[in-house]
Amino acid sequence: MKGSLIFDLPEEQTEFYIAQNGIHYLSILQELDNYLRGKIKYESEIYSEESLINFDEIRSKLHDLLKAQGLLLHE
């Protein structure tokens, strides 16, 4: 099976850019998620309880926003 995306340039330049760079956006989101997870799981002794709660809330919000769009970081 093959798939193709067709854009009318320059009118759809923004959409083309997003489609072309989607993997980079995904990579950055995954890296942010892993960063926050690492702070919570492996560096908890150097942060206050409030900071850890904030890290967890940010991570949860990230997952909620992705889920609302039908997207997942992990498969």
Q: How far is CA 19 from CA 7, 42, 43, 70, in A?
A: 10, 35, 36, 16
Q: What would the pLDDT profile of 20-37 be if each residue is shown by its tens digit?
A: 999 999 999 999 999 999
Is 32:62 a contact under the CB 8 Å cutoff? yes
Provide the whole-model pTM: 0.83
- 73 versus 39: the higher-pLDDT residue is 39
pLDDT reading at 38 higher than 90: yes
Q: What would the pLDDT profile of 53-65 be if each residue is shown by its tens digit?
A: 999 999 999 999 9
pLDDT reading at 7 higher than 80: yes
Alpha carbons 70 and 37: distance in angstroms, whole number: 21
Q: What is the pLDDT of residue 75?
A: 52
Instruction: Show the tokens assigned to 8.
Output: 């009318």
